[in-house]
Amino acid sequence: MEKLIVQNATVLFSNSAFFNKKVDVLVENGLIKNIGKSGSIQAKNATIIDGDGRFLAPGFFDLNCNFGEPGFETKEDLVTGAAAAAAGGFTGIALQPNTNPPLHSRADVAFIVNSARDLIVNVYPVAAISKNREGVDLAELYDMKLAGAVAFSDGNRSIQHSGLMSRALLYTKGFGGLVFSYAEDKSIAGKTKMNEGEVSTYLGMKGNPNIAEEVMVSRDLFFAEYNDTPIHFSTISCEGSVNLIRQAKKKGLKVTCDVAAHHLYYTDDEIISFDSNFKVKPPLRTKKDRAALIKGVKDGTIDAIVSQHTPHEVEFKMVEFEIAEFGIIGLQTVLPLLLKVGLTLELIVEKLAVNPREILKVEQPVLEEDQPANLILINPSELWIFDESTNRSKASNSPLFNSELKGKVDLLINKGHAIKLP
């Protein structure tokens, strides 16, 4: 990338002196070289990008992203996953350890760090808490931290052994590590496929009750308080969890949490269609839970929003609901979903770009001269079709596939490269 000028765009970098102002920005060889009032910047041989009606923001950062590599490359590899992330406006992703082998050793973490080095998206490995994600023995946490792990989680498996979770929190405290908790009591949740409530009763399906999540949130909050450690809860889904975390924050506990974008929009009513693309984990909850989650996002109880991008081959999703795998792809549809929910762009940027980096202590992008450009150009009113021609993932397991969406990222600049998205 040589010279590029974004003209007349509104700035959504909250740490910038130009916040909420219209500016021109000159980017040259990956660096921000000039920022000025609209119409004030000109440069020879520069590519001009019209930013009128568009918003300049820091690149999004996803705290919960699943690719397949290593072991499940037919679902998603690092290259296709990064392409999907970039198309959705993400310049950074925290990669979950749900691979084969899982990211449970220094070598596994180093493999991801080295393999992703040349991608336009910054990839940060989240390493497993336990060996093989079996929830029995602690993995080599400190070594993985040195190799580049930014946090520790057993991914979509909840730590059932209370002593192991407490020891993980205490051990990571010694070197400033962060534990992600996926809260689900398996003895309560069992092998359920959807939320427990009126819809599950109507359909005659055994449901996963809110209490299965709330019990584990409560347990891990006790451990965080007892060990005086930070803790982050991944993809909370119900009203009780929001209330527990809100109370914990008021007490002064070092707790953060995130919610998946699809839990802010969909409810368990969707399951009546038996569309396996609505089969996610944790399950879609009730309208009351959704309202509590949205309120939690707006009042600051919920710190971040994630895609929970979980790609699957067609043979794992185009089957009966009962036997279908959990998960949907979401990297390219987070922004349109959040706009449908009614969140403001300022709040979306806070929850998708600023707070995720703050949680992981990752450097924040800045809009300042002579600083590296890590930015996106958002067009909130652009209509586009999410289909085979626009999808950058290997997978297509999304309830939004082949539908018209509103809201898109037109331009992404990171690591010295620029992508103008079609």
User: Topology of 3-56+367-420 in CATH?
Assistant: Urease, subunit C; domain 1 (2.30.40)
Q: Is there a contact between 44 and 50 (Cβ–Cβ < 8 Å)?
A: no
Residue 177 has pLDDT above 70, yes or no: yes
pLDDT tens for each residue of 189-206: 999 999 999 999 999 999
pLDDT of residue 39: 84
pLDDT of residue 421: 85
How far is it, in rounded angstroms, from Cα 179 to Cα 170? 10
Token pair for 373: 């450009």
Going by pLDDT thresholds of 50, 70 and 90, the confidence category of residue 65 is very high
Looking at domain 59-360, which of 3.30.470.10, 3.40.47.10, 1.10.3720.10, 3.20.20.140 is its CATH number? Answer: 3.20.20.140
Domain boundaries, the chain: 3-56+367-420, 59-360
Average pLDDT (111-130) is 97
pLDDT of residue 331: 98
Average pLDDT (306-332) is 97
pLDDT tens for each residue of 208-229: 999 999 999 999 999 999 999 9
How far is it, in rounded angstroms, from Cα 271 to Cα 321? 9
Average pLDDT (257-284) is 98
**Is cis: bond before 336, omega within 30 of 0?**
no
Percent pLDDT > 90 in the chain is: 96
Residue 1 has pLDDT above 80, yes or no: no
- The pTM assigned to this predicted structure is 0.97
pLDDT of residue 422: 75
Instruction: Please state, rounded to an integer, the average pLDDT across all residues of the chain.
Output: 97
